[in-house]
Amino acid sequence: ENVSLPFKLYCLTVMTLVAATYTVALRYTRTVETELYFSTTAVCITEVIKLFLSVGILAKETGSLARLITSLKENVFGSPTELLKLSVPSLVYALQNNMAFVALSNLDAAVYQVTYQLKIPCTALCTVLMLNRTLSKLQWFSVFMLCGGVTLVQWKPAQATKVQVEQNPWLGFGAIAVAVLCSGFAGVYFEKVLKSSDTSLWVRNIQMYLSGIVVTLFGVYMSDGAQVLEKGFFYGYTYYVWFVIFLASVGGLYTSVVVKYTDNIMKGFSAAAAIVLSTVASVILFGLQITVTFSLGALLVCISIYLYGLPRQDTTKIQPSETKSSKERLATV
């Protein structure tokens, strides 16, 4: 785990740029192109590509085809327990995505954007409780500042629902609470699995992406099964759609690298920076108007990233559970 700071910064920077480019490209395919594709099939194809890329990187890591096959037999096909362990985050992420959809259907967009940012402090809380880490008061302050900054960046005035649709606010808030908890738990759970053994990162990725393919195929069947059978799995796919899928695949791989060598909180900061960059790009490409709230939010995001990055105790490794109890770690806040 002892990688250099420049390498960590490189991974965070690449992840930020890829995530920002992905957001802009996704917006283009969903708003500019006239023929929409099935997003569920795109997610499934993304998992397949991530699986093949991980196998390719593992092949380079092992050095020969024979060693690759041996590694896959021992760590993937010969370890059903490990496969089951890595299916947990896939299932939880699937639940999170569905709950986010339910929440957005029952809450105004502005309320949804504000409440969904609670996933940032929730991730920090899961990091403290599940990985036996401690965060300083300044780090907690920067986490909540980041939460507020991202909220302001994504805030769009007068977003009350214009169409008269029946909404259930209690159902919406309940769904958003489940989505927030799923986001924090799944990310930290995957980080714990990665850092609790010497198993290769790419083996872990293969294990997770195999279960991810099964979960996303089920999602295709449940959401768009009839239409996919009628129009085809790749209906509406263009070069831009494939570009979006490629970015999502590369972004997923870099996310696992960032989680392995930094932590989920830093991943959140990187994602926040990507939101700011993608919004600035949208101003240039789509004529989006910069508002005072966006400018203030972007400033808060930048300040929070700086504050969290100040010299501190290393939080990228899992600490022994006997060092402090959960209550003691929370008491330090």
CA distance 284 to 13: 21
Question: What pLDDT score was predicted for residue 161?
Answer: 43
Whose tokens are 């996933």? That residue is: 119
Supply 178's token pair.
């489940």
Question: What pLDDT score was predicted for residue 318?
Answer: 60
State yes or no: pLDDT of 250 exceeds 50.
yes
| pLDDT tens-place string over residues 54-108 | 999 999 988 888 999 998 888 888 888 888 888 898 889 888 887 887 887 787 7
| pLDDT tens-place string over residues 174-189 | 988 999 999 999 999 9
State yes or no: pLDDT of 209 exceeds 60.
yes
Nearest Cα to Cα of residue 273 among 146, 155, 186, 152: 146
| pLDDT tens-place string over residues 120-130 | 899 999 999 99
| pLDDT tens-place string over residues 183-208 | 999 999 999 998 888 888 999 999 99
What single string gives the DSSP state of each residue in 140-163?
HHHHHHHHHHHHHHH--SS-S--S
Q: Domain extents for the chain? A: 5-309
Nearest Cα to Cα of residue 117 among 103, 132, 98: 103
Specify the higher pLDDT residue, 28 or 69.
Answer: 69
Question: What pLDDT score was predicted for residue 48?
Answer: 94
CA distance 60 to 241: 29
| pLDDT tens-place string over residues 160-172 | 444 445 678 888 8
CA distance 289 to 298: 14
Q: What is the pTM of this model?
A: 0.80
Lowest mean pLDDT of 36-50, 163-177, 249-263, 298-312, name the range.
Answer: 163-177
Residues shown for the chain: 333
State yes or no: pLDDT of 217 exceeds 90.
yes
Mean pLDDT of 16-38: 79
Supply 224's token pair.
């768009």
Average pLDDT, the chain: 83
CA distance 165 to 190: 38
In a 3-state reduction of DSSP, which class is residue 235?
coil
